[in-house]
Amino acid sequence: MMGHNIVISGYYGFANAGDEAMLTAIIESLRQLEGDMHITVLTGNPERTTKQHDVRAIGRTQFWKIFQALRQSDLLLSGGGSLLQDVTSARSIYYYLGIILFARLLRKPVVLYAQGIGPVRRRMARYVMRFVLRQVAAIGVRDRQSKVDLLQMGVDKPPIHVTADAVLSISPGNTSFGESVLQAAGCISGKRRVGIALREWKEVEVYKKEIAKAADRLQREEGVEIIFIPMQYPTDVPIAYDIVKEMQTEAYVLDASYATEEFISLMACMDVVIANRLHALIFATLMKIPVVAISYDPKIDGFIHSIGETVCGTVEDVSHQVIITQVQQRLQQKMLLPHVEKQVVHLRRQSFRNLYLVAYVLWGKGRLRTPWQQIKRFL
């Protein structure tokens, strides 16, 4: 019997490290489940996605090809990430819901995989979400607030499972690649390093100045190196240079694009990571590196609270003094606190529950194939 045909819909092919990491994690998990599974990804850059992930890829707006792929599929996997929200775009939510509805019209089962729901502020969007999501086979959300939001919208079926971010299922890497990149950039071996991974947020500028002040003082008082790591290339590079211009001390900007395992290796070379990029926080935590989180979106608060920590502020109100205090505390710790490490282990197990939902829909209870037993040990 040939492997199942799975179509994956998400924000892929746009050089965003977090989203590409989610795709890496999903594909890795699916292939653990069934080695001969056929995977097709809807993407903004089919050539790049095929090369990077070794899958079949279709342009996300090539609707005739999408129709053909869905018609031949056994299941649509929608996720992961914050696809179903109307803050960054008022239109994208309808695209992702439209793909789900497309699959249901073709009588194909749909699994929401590690989705982060909301915010969804527009009344029409909430209505359409309720109508579409009540028709899917299984829902896995990456935090409890997402479940609450869906229930408040009236999504009362199917049962909503709280899992965890898909990236948490990735196997931790090593520091060899990261060290080679840092040496090539001129970083001094043996010095403590503070990595910074930031994104622009609307027209907010104040947090850039606060981070510049914090970076200067940390270099003077703690003797650390400051290293900016762009999670979405080249989009995140300008903000790094903006902050460097505000600084009175020197800093390094890694002006290049990296694959998922390379980002993880870079994070493993840091002593502390400051970020408002969710997956920079997740990568660092996976590698047992302490983090200092700045929030711009509920998903940041959700993850940080899930590991038993708190954010140091938002992009609108963060203070350089709070950043400095938290970084100094984490430099003294030199590792994750025991309760944080325990939560990370729990979240990794929860992440594999996303895969259970796929297995359940494909094979049904009691008929899971032997490969599933390899995954089940994580639960």
pLDDT, one tens digit per residue, over 163-207 is 999 999 998 888 999 999 999 999 987 899 999 999 999 889 999
Domains 5-163+345-377 and 175-336 share a fold: yes
Cα 10 to the chain's mean position, in Å? 11
Domain covering 5-163+345-377, topology: Rossmann fold (3.40.50)
The overall pTM is greater than 0.85? yes
| Residue range 326-350: mean pLDDT, rounded | 94
Q: Give the Cβ contact number of residue 332 at 10 Å.
A: 8
Distance, CA of 38 to CA of 74 (rounded, Å): 10
Ordered alpha helix ranges (H), 232-292: 237-246, 260-268, 278-286
Can you tell me which residue has the tokens 């649509």? 76
Domain covering 175-336, topology: Rossmann fold (3.40.50)
pLDDT, one tens digit per residue, over 21-57 is 999 999 999 998 898 999 999 999 999 999 999 999 9
Task: Give the residue extent of every domain in the chain.
Answer: 5-163+345-377, 175-336
Q: Could you please report the per-residue DSSP string of 202-236?
A: TT--HHHHHHHHHHHHHHHHH--EEEE--SBTTTT
Q: Per-residue confidence at 370, pLDDT binned at 50, 70, 90?
A: very low
